[in-house]
Chain A
Amino acid sequence: MPAIETRPRRRTRPAARSLWTALPRQVAVIAWKDLRAEMRTKEAVNASFAFALVILLLFSFAFDPAEEQTRLISGGLLWIVFAFAGTLVLNRSFARELPNDCLDALVAAPVSGAAIFLGKALANFVLLTAVELVSLPVFGIFYNVRWTEQFWPLLLVVALATWGVTVIGTVFSALTVNIRLREVMLPLLVYPVLIPALMAAMQLTTALVAGEPLAGDLLAWLRLLVGFDVIFTALALLLMETVLVA
């Protein structure tokens, strides 16, 4: 076994940094860790994308993809696909911490519950967005939808709604991490809470892929989406510490 020599103690505690420089750094470290781990195995992302494809395929049996009518409900279709596929990623978020009791080490580290939440949410957001951006062209091809016409507004909507899904999903992933039937409970709890965000996303997406500009009534839906994100992000930041230190 290696020799363990005594050596002068190093002062490892640097001068306390202010919250505003420490928090973003901690968030980045945690997000990087989750992304790195996921990229090694790609379990969640692969499963999520494959699931998205399967649902897209199944929908084609439910109604004729060639019909004009399909395009009227395209936003709804797309967000059902995203929401279903998303839970596969979100389920893994805190479940990833279970083997080896990693969550203990994370909670023991001098980072706040808010930092853990934001780090994990950021990683989930990146993974979900990746799955969605790959699914989007596939959807466009299969269902003959011109999703590129209002590309930037559509991207904004996708980002806002995905953040909403991520916030709720990350918090609930932490809530359900230690309970029985975790995989079943998460979607059961997440979808009803997400309904306002998903509705707004569906309305906006349907209009945008039909070529309508982001104006008029659509702005009201956009505001709803922003409001949903802001309210639940604040609530999550407030309550995460309570969830982690039950």
Chain B
Amino acid sequence: MREKLLYALGIIAALLIARNLFHIFLRFPDEASQGAIFRIIFFHVPAAMAAFVGALVALGASIGWLTTRRMRFDSLAVAVTEVSLAFLAANLITGSIWGRIIWGIWWTWDARLTSALVCWLLYAGYLMLRRAIEEPTQRATIAAVYSIFAFVDVPIVIFSIKWWRTQHPQPVFWGGGSFPAEWYVTALLNLLAMVLLGVVLTAVRLRQEETQREIDAMRRYAHAM
């Protein structure tokens, strides 16, 4: 049942992405000032949003573990953090490519780029911390506390770095931009596709994590014999 649901979600995500790719690359004309490269924004922005949703879920899962002591919450926390990091990396990379074309540079220490990078480092720290701890229950608790600290830090990081000069374009979709309606639709559908993709990937990773824990338990049984 769960298997079928995942396949279904995966297929929907794939169809959505195919539909969006068709529109983005074949239907939409080049944008007046930026040319062809503007298309990258249909991936750049939804990826960031999907990553943010993932961070929220990771926070919820971490608190869930600390309050209920159900290992599944810990598995969810690590799965969703990994997937979110992948989305945030996609956001950073697409942004960097766009910057190379429009600004002529791969990277600049502007507010948004810097905060995205810092957030990526914060959550990469979560994964590194996990790797350093052997015992699953202790690992879950320590990682959950760290995850809460990281999440609380995110708005402060973003806010403080924003006080530096900003070079990044102001939000185009929901910040008073003047894009055609169908662009909004495609962007939203791409966000939906990415969230669905994120759900599928998280579910797959969650199952791996649970299997990993079972294997770990079996190894401990074997040692105890």
Q: Which residues of A come within 8 Å of B, CB atoms?
A: 168, 171-172, 175-176, 178-181, 185, 188-189, 192-193, 195-196, 199-200, 220-221, 224, 227-228, 231-232, 235, 239, 242-243, 246
- Residues of chain A within 8 A (CB-CB) of B148 are 235, 239
Our pick among B129, B134, B138, B160 for the contact of A199 (Cβ within 8 Å) is: B160
Our pick among A176, A181, A193, A221 for the contact of B153 (Cβ within 8 Å) is: A193
A228 to B118 alpha-carbon distance, docked (Å): 16
Q: Given the interface contacts A188-B125, A242-B66, A246-B137, does A224 sit within 8 Å of B145 by beta carbon?
A: no
| Beta-carbon contact of A185 and B137 below 8 Å | no
Could you jot down 27 A-B contacts, CB within 8 Å?
A168-B149, A176-B129, A179-B129, A179-B132, A180-B134, A185-B128, A189-B146, A193-B149, A193-B150, A195-B157, A195-B160, A196-B153, A196-B156, A196-B160, A196-B161, A199-B160, A199-B161, A224-B156, A224-B159, A231-B152, A231-B156, A232-B152, A235-B149, A235-B152, A239-B145, A243-B141, A246-B141
- Residues of chain B within 8 A (CB-CB) of A193 are 122, 149-150, 153
Q: Given the interface contacts A185-B128, A199-B161, does A242 sit within 8 Å of B152 by beta carbon?
A: no
Our pick among A192, A196, A243 for the contact of B145 (Cβ within 8 Å) is: A243
| Beta-carbon contact of B152 and A175 below 8 Å | no
- Residues of chain A within 8 A (CB-CB) of B163 are 220-221, 224
| Beta-carbon contact of A175 and B146 below 8 Å | yes
- Residues of chain A within 8 A (CB-CB) of B133 are 178-180
Give chain B interface residues in 121-146, CB to chain A under 8 Å: 121-122, 125, 128-129, 132-134, 137-138, 141-142, 145-146
Q: Which range holds the interface residue count of chain B?
A: 20 to 34
A239 to B121 alpha-carbon distance, docked (Å): 22
A227 to B152 alpha-carbon distance, docked (Å): 12
A228 to B155 alpha-carbon distance, docked (Å): 11
Judged by DSSP, the binding face of B is helix
A228 to B134 alpha-carbon distance, docked (Å): 32
Our pick among B66, B134, B142, B157 for the contact of A175 (Cβ within 8 Å) is: B142
| Beta-carbon contact of B118 and A246 below 8 Å | no
- Residues of chain A within 8 A (CB-CB) of B161 are 195-196, 199
- Residues of chain A within 8 A (CB-CB) of B138 are 178, 246
Q: Which residues of B come within 8 Å of A, CB atoms?
A: 66, 118, 121-122, 125, 128-129, 132-134, 137-138, 141-142, 145-146, 148-150, 152-153, 156-157, 159-161, 163
- Residues of chain B within 8 A (CB-CB) of A239 are 145, 148
Most buried by B among A172, A221, A227, A228: A172
| Beta-carbon contact of B125 and A189 below 8 Å | yes
Q: How far is the CB of A10 from chain B (nearest CB, A)?
A: 39
A228 to B149 alpha-carbon distance, docked (Å): 12
- Residues of chain B within 8 A (CB-CB) of A172 are 146
Q: How far is the CB of B23 from chain A (nearest CB, A)?
A: 38
Q: How far is the CB of A189 from chain B (nearest CB, A)?
A: 5
- Residues of chain A within 8 A (CB-CB) of B157 are 195-196
Residue on A nearest B142 in the bound complex, by CB = A175
A235 to B153 alpha-carbon distance, docked (Å): 11
Q: Given the interface contacts A192-B118, A231-B152, does A242 sit within 8 Å of B160 by beta carbon?
A: no
A71 to B114 alpha-carbon distance, docked (Å): 24
Q: Given the interface contacts A227-B156, A235-B149, does A188 sit within 8 Å of B128 by beta carbon?
A: yes
- Residues of chain A within 8 A (CB-CB) of B156 are 196, 224, 227-228, 231
A235 to B133 alpha-carbon distance, docked (Å): 23
- Residues of chain B within 8 A (CB-CB) of A200 are 160
A173 to B134 alpha-carbon distance, docked (Å): 18
- Residues of chain B within 8 A (CB-CB) of A168 are 149
Residue on B nearest A177 in the bound complex, by CB = B142
Q: Top 8 nearest A-B pairs by Cβ distance?
A: A196-B160, A192-B121, A179-B132, A246-B141, A196-B156, A192-B122, A189-B125, A180-B132
- Residues of chain B within 8 A (CB-CB) of A232 are 149, 152
